[in-house]
């Protein structure tokens, strides 16, 4: 996906990540051995994969890329 304008980026971010708007985070936890196995990720690695769970039972796992080649990182940002 090539985006050329900020408006394009807003459209794609809303489409791909808009499901999180208005939800409340219930839990942030490390992935279990079984969850790591399901994604073929190393459980006994110095880095750890994270699961973010919302109060409605949905959630997400930050990944290194869209192919799921490894866990991702969540950076703290400034408030807007």
3-state secondary structure of 53: strand
Question: For 37, how many CA atoms within 13 A lie in the half-sphere containing its CB?
Answer: 3
Could you identify the residue written with the tokens 């499901």? 19
- Using the predicted structure, report yes or no on whether residue 27 has a pLDDT greater than 90: yes
User: What does the pLDDT read at residue 42?
Assistant: 87
Q: How far is CA 23 from CA 19, 20, 28, 59, in A?
A: 8, 6, 14, 10
Q: What's the average model confidence in pLDDT over 44-68?
A: 90
Query: Taking all residues of the chain, what is their mean pLDDT, rounded to a whole number?
Result: 89
- pLDDT band with cut points at 50, 70 and 90 for residue 80: low
DSSP E strands in 4-58: the ranges are 25-30, 50-54
- Using the predicted structure, report yes or no on whether residue 2 has a pLDDT greater than 80: no
């Amino acid at each position: 996906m090539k985006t050329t304008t900020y408006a394009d980026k807003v459209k794609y971010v809303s489409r791909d990540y808009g499901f999180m708007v208005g939800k409340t985070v219930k839990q942030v936890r490390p992935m279990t051995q079984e969850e790591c196995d399901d994604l073929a990720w190393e459980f006994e690695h110095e880095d750890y994969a994270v699961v973010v769970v919302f109060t409605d039972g949905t959630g997400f796992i930050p990944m290194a890329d869209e192919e799921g080649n490894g866990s991702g990182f969540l950076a703290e940002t400034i408030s807007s």
